[in-house]
Chains A and B, each alone.
Chain A
Amino acid sequence: MGILEVKDVNKRFGGLQALGNVNLSVADNTVHAIIGPNGAGKSTLLNCLVGKLIPDTGSVMFAGQSVLGLKPYQINQMGISRVFQTPEIFGDLTVMENMMIPCLAKRDGPFRMHAIRSVFGEKKLRERAEEMLTEVKMLDKRDMHAASMSRGDKRRLEMAMCLVQEPRLLLLDEPTAGMARHDTNNTIDLLKDIKARGNITMCIIEHDMHVVFSLADRITVLAQGTPLVEDTPEKIKGHPKVREAYLGETA
């Protein structure tokens, strides 16, 4: 059994069937890519995993536990972190402060009143945050206002914020969209590195096939809310249905 088990999930928005009978099993310590045309329901599926949406029917199990009905912060504390399609960061804060928040959340849990000690007295957490910033090559931007950075940098920051929590399952919604080629390659290298270190499973939604084929162990193709096929990257490349539904479109 995989670390993430999605069974018969349906989600409707009014008359629109956004997800129809989605089944997905993600094995531990693998990278699973979900691809599909715009509006296929990829982000909706992630929303059902992190507690942003509740599926109409079906079940979502993470590490043997159901996540349905849990609040987003509880699901995160179980070990699921998510990078959003449009960067969600703390725009009013500096890069370093952005990094300190997930570090504190990881150490102190959903709520803890540390009202007297200074943030800058948290030596261990700061070192951890700086390490992570070095890995995403953003240490020089540590005192920058997060809102004033480029879209690519915001995305890298968000990824660093998720990674610093050492999640068991990392959900990435188009992590390289809006990045320059060079940064995309850096991101691929970073994710490969993270994967090689082990003890992390990734679910990645991506339109950039170069990224998908560089990282994925398995690929699910989603179209109009339903999985068309699920297979290894090699098989997916040659699959006629996929060429027609997806690859053909973008080629």
Chain B
Amino acid sequence: MFGLDKKDTTLLLIVFVLTMCAPFLLNPFPGNSAMAQFNAGYPDLMQRFVIYGIFAIGFNILFGLTGYLSFGHAAFLGVGSYSAVWMFKLLSMNVLPAVILSVIIAGLFALVIGFISLRRSGIYFSILTLAFAQMSFALAYSVLTPITNGETGLQLSLNDPRILGESVSASGGIPFPSLFGLDMRATHVMELGPWMFQFSAGYYFCAVLMLLAFYLAIRIFRSPFGLMLRAVKSNQQRMNYTGLNVRPYTLAAFVISGMYAGLAGGLLAAMDPLAGAERMQWTASGEVVLMTILGGAGTLIGPVLGAGFIKYFENIFSKINDTVLHQWFAFMPDGIEDLLVTVIHPFVGKGWHLTLGLMFMAVVIFLPGGLVQGGQKIGNLFRRKPAADHTTSAAKTPAE
């Protein structure tokens, strides 16, 4: 189906069902229970899952296939956000042109940065991309203030022209992003006893784009072009002596992954129309590297899993504080309750980075193929069958 083989079609359908049912799946605990803390089915959080999923899918096309580790992909995310906000300011509040411009501008940006950075490989390539991203970050704060609005960040105002839309909404405020009139904030709430499920237009818009992005990634992985990208990672010498020019292949992969990042950046702005330079900071570039490796570099579904994992930790684990812990262990005798809270305390709340860090180390050491490899191992335990390599062989030899 859709030009994919059976395995890939199944994978696509699974991802389709999971994203479409996410409002249910991510809210498994009744609202009045102590476990409600772990629910993640809120529109803004779900939006972040799929948006960072897009970011990681694109990053994986570069890193997972060619092995070129970019440390500056957040620059494209930031450029995408700025482009989208400018589109909201100048043209209209429609998200579609905004997102399209984000992709184009990020692609052009990636073309320039890639053209220069790809003159080197390995660590020098990584450093060059990092340098470019940090430069963009610094410039966004300083000389580019007319475009980026410096430290305040780029925001909408009542004075924006919006030539195809309205500067001021009917209610006198700044209008909100919409898709041909469908407000991105529109949310349908469904209450089922103690459960509350929220279906947001913004989330579904992002989810559909993620599915498209995912589908395109599968096609690229399976195409002759994708094969060449894997050849780049495997043996550039052999490629050269087989009559293939390596540079345009890596540049194309770089631009495509930059466009994915631009799309993600545009969507971030479409869900919340402001853009700040901190989106380009190196920590944001590092995050997408973590997502991809955690999930499984070079696999199809890995980056999406990794993105979901990290965003879940960032938003859920970080909210567990001592009061919550005390509530959970209230049924225990006081001494044990305090002890448990003290032991768990460093791992939750502000300490969520510690948990994530330990998990990341465990994955890299024990599961070099990321969570996907973990899933395969568990699957094989049940099937008692030699490892069926679900995606690409790259899963076995990830980060270089």
Q: Chain B, 240-254, contact with A by CB distance < 8 Å: what is the 0/1 string?
A: 111111101100100
Residues of chain A contacted by B222 (CB below 8 angstroms): 118-120
**Residues of chain B with a CB closer than 8 A to A81's CB:** 241-242
Decide if B235 is an interface residue (CB 8 Å cutoff).
yes
In the bound complex, do residue A50 and residue B241 qualify as a contact, i.e. CB atoms below 8 Å apart?
yes
Ordered by A's residue number, 25 sampled pairs between the chains whose C-beta atoms are within 8 Å are A50-B241, A73-B239, A73-B242, A76-B240, A76-B243, A77-B243, A82-B241, A88-B235, A88-B237, A88-B238, A90-B230, A90-B234, A90-B235, A92-B230, A100-B224, A105-B243, A106-B243, A110-B244, A110-B248, A115-B225, A115-B226, A119-B226, A119-B227, A122-B224, A145-B393
**Across the two chains, which residue of chain A brings its CB closest to B244?**
A105
Tell me the bound Cα distance from A76 to B252 in angstroms. 22
Interface string of A45-76 (1 = CB under 8 A from B): 00000100000000000000000000111001
A108-B224, A118-B223, A161-B242 known; 18 other A-B pairs, CB under 8 Å? A73-B241, A76-B241, A88-B238, A90-B231, A92-B233, A93-B393, A100-B224, A101-B244, A104-B224, A110-B243, A115-B219, A115-B225, A116-B219, A116-B223, A117-B224, A118-B5, A119-B222, A122-B224
Asked if B228 is at the interface of the complex by the 8 Å CB criterion, the answer is yes
- CA separation between A89 and B234, bound complex, in Å? 8
Q: How far is the CA of A84 from the CA of B240 in the complex (A)?
A: 13
Q: Contact at A111–B245, with CB atoms within 8 Å?
A: yes
Residue pair B223, A117 in contact (C-beta under 8 Å): yes
CA distance A119 to B221 in the complex (A): 9
**The residue from A91, A105, A115 contacting B220, defined by CB atoms under 8 A apart:** A115
B386 at the interface (CB under 8 A from A): no
Q: Is B397 an interface residue (CB 8 A)?
A: yes
Is the CB–CB distance between A119 and B234 below 8 Å? no
Output the least CB separation between A97 and chain B (Å). 6
A186 to B220 CA separation, bound complex (whole angstroms): 38
CB distance from A116 to the nearest CB of B (A): 5
Q: In the complex, what residues of A have CB within 8 A of residue B240's CB?
A: 71-73, 76
- B128 beta carbon closer than 8 Å to chain A: no
For A76, what are the chain B residues with a Cβ–Cβ distance below 8 Å? Answer: 240-243
Q: In the assembly, what is the distance between CA of A112 and CA of B225, in Å? A: 8
Contacts A77-B243, A165-B243 given; indicate if A89 touches B238 (C-beta within 8 A): yes
B335 within 8 Å of A (CB atoms): no
- B394 proximal to A (CB < 8 A): yes
Indicate if A36 sits at the interface (CB-CB under 8 A).
no
Q: With a CB–CB cut-off of 8 A, which chain B residues contact A124? A: none
- The reply to whether B234 and A91 form a contact with Cβ atoms under 8 Å apart is yes
Interface 1/0 per residue, A10-53 and B, CB below 8 Å: 00000000000000000000000000000000000000001000
A94 close to B (CB within 8 Å): yes
Tell me whether B3 is interfacial, beta carbon within 8 Å. yes
| A113→B252 contact, CB < 8 A | yes
Q: Which residues of A contact B394 (CB under 8 A)?
A: 92
10 cross-chain pairs, A with B, having the tightest CB-CB distances, nearest first: A76-B243, A110-B245, A114-B224, A90-B234, A92-B234, A72-B240, A115-B225, A111-B248, A105-B243, A88-B238
**Residue picked from B4, B239, B242, most chain A C-beta under 10 Å:** B242
* A102 CB within 8 Å of chain B: yes
User: Given the known A-B contacts A90-B235, A93-B393, are A111 and B230 also in contact in the complex, defined by CB atoms under 8 Å?
Assistant: no
Cα-based distance from A104 to B249 in the complex (angstroms): 14
Please indicate the chain A residues that have their CB under 8 angstroms from the CB of B244 in the complex: 73, 101, 105, 110-111
Which residues on A sit within 8 Å (CB–CB) of B245?
71, 73, 110-111
Nearest opposing residue in chain A for B224, CB measure: A114
Whole-angstrom distance between the Cβ of A85 and the nearest chain B Cβ: 12
Minimum distance in angstroms from A70 CB to a CB of chain B: 11
CB distance from A173 to the nearest CB of B (A): 11
Nearest-CB distance from B302 to chain A (Å)? 16
Give chain A residues whose Cβ lies under 8 Å from the Cβ of B393: 92-94, 145
- Given the complex, which residues of A lie within 8 Å of B252, measured CB to CB? 113
Cα(A194)–Cα(B222), bound, Å:
33
Asked whether B238 lies within 8 Å of A90 as measured between CB atoms, the reply is yes
A93 to B224 Cα, complex, angstroms? 13
- CB atoms of B227 and A104 under 8 A apart: yes
Q: Which residues of chain A have C-beta atoms less than 8 A from B228's C-beta?
A: 101, 104
